[in-house]
Amino acid sequence: MDSGTSPERMVFFSDAVFAIALTLLALDLKLPPGIPAEELDDALIAALPQLLAYALSFLIVARTWMSHHADFARIVRFNVNLGRLNLALLFFIAMLPGPTSVLSEYGDDPTPWPSVLYAANIAAVYLTMAAIWGYAKRAGLMDLEAAAFGYRRVFTARVAGALVFLLSIPAAFVLNAFTPFLWLLLVPVSWWTRRFSTPK
């Protein structure tokens, strides 16, 4: 793709990567074969960590996809650096099924590493989205009227989301399996950024 052209091809390619990542997330949602009927209830309860990890990752990927679409409704021009940043985002999106599988399989164990790997991956997603948004405005790739609407709010929300996951990484070495409870801070942080970030 040449600089200055429409970003449509990049958006279509991105949509395909998001769709594949969402599909791969579901591959771990299966029970061991040959479970007797009388043990099915226990097997379903044991599968809850996989379901919760899937639901969390699905929510994050789906929200990132929606934000990506909203961004590129305002980003009307393309250059090579924007393409590189977008590929970096897709790298972390495509990687997410791996840490999700580790978290669902070993998240209950007394080790910080499942939460550390997962938090690092999600923080990278948030930071790359913030980088795309910030670079597009600085490089003049946005529609001028759209660029003036809510820029600071969007950028602040993404950085704040990344901070929640980054701060959970050192905390994981103390909290171990309880680390995912820290990620619930995304709810008040999201409310705070909507409430107090001034559009600019």
pLDDT score of 31: 65
pLDDT score of 179: 94
pLDDT score of 3: 58
Provide the CB-side half-sphere exposure for 68 (13 A, CA): 28
Cβ–Cβ under 8 Å, residues 190 and 161: yes
Below-50 pLDDT ranges, the chain: 200
Distance of alpha carbon 64 from alpha carbon 153, whole angstroms: 16
pLDDT score of 146: 63
Domain ranges of the chain: 8-196
pLDDT score of 200: 46
pLDDT score of 153: 86
pLDDT score of 132: 96
pTM, whole model, 2 decimals?
A: 0.88
pLDDT score of 196: 66
Identify which of 157, 159, 156 has the alpha carbon closest to the alpha carbon of residue 128: 159
